[in-house]
Structure 1
Amino acid sequence: MIHTLPSRYIGFAAVGCGLIATVIYVLMISVTLAHIETVSGQVPFDMRPLGYSPKDAATLLEALGAEGREYYLRYQISLDTLYPAMLALTLIATFSWFGRHMSGSKLVRSGIILSVGCALLDYFENIGIAAMIWSWPEVSIALVYAASTATIVKSALTTLAVLLVLLIGLLWVRLPKADLCP
């Protein structure tokens, strides 16, 4: 017999993971990524949703200097190791919570798949960035394109997942009240 978590626990998980993800995101934006941009005068890899070229990567890595590259690895990549999981858990819990009230929804299943994809691609992006930093100044063009592609696809999937959760939320609000009972 399969036991499912009560709806309130899924809601608590969504809110709790969402709060943790928000704190990490704010730290990245206001501290680590801001520091990287200040030190280098360049937009960090993480903040380039449309990707970057090998020339862009070389310009950023050169401008960071040894200390900036070490900072990127130690602080930004460390925080960005936690963030994808927290964002994915937030989205998955939110989709699951809505799904409890919208059984059989392909939109909910699609949202969960997108959420996992976002996290995986964010981790691929992070591995690519770390590999570029470690291999500096001998960064391969293929590595830059792989990391850049991960950034682009991650950005697109994240946007789709967030838009989908908003759409499902709107659909859920429009459900008749009788359908909302657990």
Structure 2
Amino acid sequence: MTNRFQSKHIGMLAAVSGLIGASVYLLMINVTLAHIEAVSGHIPFDMRPFGYGPTEAATLLKALSVEGRNYYLSHQLPLDILYPAMLALTLIATLCLFAERMPNGKLVRFGIVFSVGSALFDYIENLGILAMIWCWPDVLAPLVYATSTATIAKSALTTIAVLLVLLVGVIWMRMPKADLRL
């Protein structure tokens, strides 16, 4: 497989996964998460980058009611199963595309690690939310703290991964044309 052929496929993968990820994200922000917030009057777990405690979790779960909790399970969480994978795939494919033309891949490797970590903690967060909803009203504080920690980790790792992709892109764009390996 030639580099040009491989680059084309990696670029296509980045574009397609990015389109799917962006579509799912917009659907979550504008429909499912907006509905959860409208029904409960509280910010959903997914949108609390600095976490939450047992009292906040109980307040949200109680305010959601049975219908709202079912909506979280049947609408938000299925979308949030697809989104982390699409985001990680987009970031990783973009990094790999830049890596083909960069001599030092250390930042690329860090970006890949943070992208995978972001997705992993998003899935852990989703499992925690699922468990909290299933356990309601008997949600244990350790479960809330574990889920909240996953939310914070997901938020931090996602931010770092995106910043690394942007940094690698800026470095790649600033490279002299002679240094580019096609």
Please state which band the TM-score falls in when normalised by the shorter chain. over 0.9
State the SS of the aligned residue for 1:109. Answer: helix
State the SS of the aligned residue for 2:102. Answer: coil
Distance between the aligned counterparts of 1:55 and 1:3, measured in 2?
A: 57
Whether 1:139 aligns to 2:139 is: yes
Matches within 5 A, 1:58-97: 58-97=58-97
Q: TM-score, normalised by structure 2?
A: 0.96
How far is the alpha carbon of 1:6 from its aligned partner? 1.1
Matches within 5 A, 1:1-182: 6-182=6-182
| Matched AA of 1:127 | L
Distance between the aligned counterparts of 2:9 and 2:156, measured in 1?
A: 29
| Matched AA of 1:24 | V
Distance between the aligned counterparts of 1:179 and 1:133, measured in 2?
A: 54
- Percent identity between matched residues is 64
Distance between the aligned counterparts of 2:78 and 2:63, measured in 1?
A: 21
Distance between the aligned counterparts of 1:28 and 1:165, measured in 2?
A: 23
Distance between the aligned counterparts of 1:122 and 1:13, measured in 2?
A: 21
| Matched AA of 1:76 | Q
Distance between the aligned counterparts of 1:12 and 1:181, measured in 2?
A: 20
How far is the alpha carbon of 1:181 from its aligned partner? 3.5
Deviations 1:146-176 (A, max 9, x none): 0000000100000000011001000000111
| CA RMSD after TM alignment | 1.3
Q: TM-score, normalised by structure 1?
A: 0.96
How far is the alpha carbon of 1:113 from its aligned partner? 0.6
Distance between the aligned counterparts of 2:51 and 2:101, measured in 1?
A: 38
Distance between the aligned counterparts of 2:65 and 2:179, measured in 1?
A: 58
| Long gaps (5+) in structure 1 | none
The aligned length equals: 181
State the SS of the aligned residue for 1:58. Answer: helix
Distance between the aligned counterparts of 1:56 and 1:102, measured in 2?
A: 46
| Matched AA of 2:86 | M
| Matched AA of 1:23 | S
| Long gaps (5+) in structure 2 | none
